[in-house]
Amino acid sequence: MFSKIAVTAAALLAFPLTAAPAAADQARAESLPLADAVQLLPTAAESRDGYQRTSFKHWVDADRDTCNTRAEVLIAESRVEPTIEAGCKVVAGEWYSYYDGVTLTAPGGLDIDHMVPLAEAWDSGASGWTAARREAYANDLDADRSLVAVTARTNRSKSDQDPADWTPPLADARCTYATDWVATKLRWQLTTDGRERAALTELAAGCGQETVDYTPAP
């Protein structure tokens, strides 16, 4: 998603490997128990002042392969080889909506859910980001659970709510959901409010050995 910068030999001589350790640290994957991961999330008051959904540009074709972000997620999450027509139009496949345990074969019944909704991300720190970083967040294909294909009805039921007010209707999905939520917030260094943190703490207490795996976003 981010363009690679060509570095000349002269530049390498001028800056001999000084940036490499920082870049490596930034990309280092982290793994820790869910309960511990929740405690890493900073707490802050939320504010929706100035929020507009258009502040997060999506769905884009970042790699210019004719498939936008929605299509990329549908292709990646189909349990069978999807049927794709001209212009990267995904018309058939098999998708499991883990929020409610429903399997679909037609993409029209699916929404691509931002694990942490755009409005919630805005409330939690994205209001201070650049437009480019918000676009990167809204089209994050580099983390498996930042975006997920789910039934339209569950996505719309969730809307912009955090886990204090909404969890998946399928009880068996709630630990996975809490894990994915926390991983996304840690990846993007987003905060939690008090009610959200309390809800996540309660969920984590019942999730046994669930582990949060994430890589900090560039």
pLDDT in tens, 6-60: 333 333 233 333 333 444 444 689 999 999 999 999 999 999 999 999 999 999 9
* Positive or negative: CA dihedral 211, 170, 163, 129: positive
Q: Is residue 12 part of a domain?
A: no
The DSSP H or E segment spanning 95 is: strand 95-97
Number of domains within the chain: 1
- C-alpha distances (whole Å) from 144 to each of 76, 139, 193 are 9, 12, 25
Tell me if 23 is assigned to some domain: no
By residue range, what is the domain housing residue 69? 29-214
Over residues 129-144, the mean pLDDT reads 97
Task: Decide if 7 is inside a domain.
Answer: no
Q: Tell whether 68 is covered by a domain.
A: yes
CA angle 103, 106, 109 (to 5 degrees): 75
In a domain, 50, yes or no: yes
102 domain-assigned: yes
Does residue 22 sit within a domain?
Answer: no
Give the pTM: 0.86
Q: What is the mean pLDDT of residues 163-192?
A: 98
Give CA–CA dist 123/142, Å, rounded.
23
Q: What is the pLDDT of residues 68-122, one digit of tens each?
A: 999 999 999 999 999 999 999 999 999 999 999 999 999 999 999 999 999 999 9
CB contact set of 161 (below 8 Å; sequence gap of 6+): 117, 120
Q: Is 34 within the bounds of a domain?
A: yes
Which sign, positive or negative, has the C-alpha torsion 46, 52, 53, 58? negative
Q: What's the alpha-carbon Rg for the chain, to the nearest Å?
A: 19
